[in-house]
Amino acid sequence: MKKKIAVIGLGNPLRRDDAIGILLLQYLSQNKKKLSKTIDFIDGGTSGLNLLHLLGDYETVLLLDAVDFKGSTGEIKKFTVDEIKNQKIQLFLSTHEPDFLTVYALLKELDRAPTRLVIFGVQPKDISYGTRVSQEICSFLPTLQKQILEEIQSMTKSL
């Protein structure tokens, strides 16, 4: 039987703003008393195909990640995989290990995909190597944390 809800942060703290998914996850995990008890908080890092079983074990998955959607730095967008136009190209030009879109596609083929997958993408500025996020992301962080907490509270209160 599948577990209820996973909030999974993706990204790499060694690639500056790519850490945003992990930073938001850490914040939510520290504030888990304000959220549904059925939520598991998972640091997915850059696990690629190793995400397969983590994603497949839940009915609802909420992903936090840095996503370049050509928005302004720190802008947050909530979307589903079905809304992505260029997902097929991404499957074959992922930067290293297959990304979560590949994993999701494979899970669908295996009939193990979560019933609901929502991605919260934050527009990064700088994903070069380094352990510090950009000043812009740093200054937006409190707002992003508040926003994501409220979103997830409202999305999961009935689950």
Partner 1 sequence: MSKDFSVHVEHVTRVEGHGNIILDVKNGKIEKLQWNVVEAPRFFEAMLRGQHYNELRPITSRICGICSIGHSLASLKATEDALGVKITSQTATLRRLAIHAENMQSHILHIGYLVVPDLFGAGSVFSLLGKHTDTVLKVVKLHRLANEMSDLICGRTIHPIRLVVGGFSLQPTEKQLIQLKKRLLEAQELTMELAPVILSVAGNLPSFTRETEYIGLTSDEEYSLYEGDIASTDTGRHPNYREYKEIMQEYIVPHSTAKYAKHARESYMVGALARFNLNSRQLHPVAQDIASLFKLKAINYNPFMNTIAQLAEFAHSIQDSISLIDILVDQGIKQEKPVKPAKKAGRGVGIVEVPRGILVHDYTLNSQGYCTKANCIIPTNQNHANIQKDMEKLVPEIINRPEKEIELTLEMLVRAYDPCISCSTHYLDVSFK
Q: Kindly tell me which residue out of 131, 154, 157, 158 binds partner 1, with binding defined by CB under 8 A.
A: 131
Contact flag: residue 71 with partner 1 (CB under 8 A): no
In terms of DSSP bridges, do strands 116-122 and 76-79 run parallel, antiparallel, or are they unpaired?
antiparallel
Which residues have C-beta within 8 Å of that of residue 122, sequence separation ≥ 6? 17, 20, 21, 24, 64, 65, 66, 67, 74, 75, 76, 77, 137, 144
Alpha carbons 142 and 82: distance in angstroms, whole number: 29
Contact flag: residue 99 with partner 1 (CB under 8 A): yes
Contact flag: residue 124 with partner 1 (CB under 8 A): yes
Answer positive or negative: Cα dihedral of 74, 80, 82, 83.
Answer: negative
Query: 27 vs 100, which CB is nearer to partner 1?
Result: 100
What is the closest distance, in whole angstroms, from the C-beta atom of residue 104 to partner 1 in the complex? 12
Q: Kindly tell me which residue out of 26, 38, 41, 54 binds partner 1, with binding defined by CB under 8 A.
A: 54
What is the closest distance, in whole angstroms, from the C-beta atom of residue 157 to partner 1 in the complex? 27
Residue 31 pairs in a beta bridge with: none
Contact flag: residue 72 with partner 1 (CB under 8 A): no
Q: Kindly tell me which residue out of 15, 35, 74, 113 binds partner 1, with binding defined by CB under 8 A.
A: 15
Contact flag: residue 35 with partner 1 (CB under 8 A): no
Residue 41 pairs in a beta bridge with: 7
Contact flag: residue 29 with partner 1 (CB under 8 A): no
In terms of DSSP bridges, do strands 39-45 and 3-10 run parallel, antiparallel, or are they unpaired?
parallel
With beta carbons less than 8 A apart as the criterion, state whether 9 and 47 touch: no
Instruction: Give me the residues that bind partner 1 (CB under 8 A), please.
Output: 10-15, 18, 43-50, 52-54, 65-70, 79, 83-87, 90, 92-101, 105-106, 109-110, 121, 124, 127-131
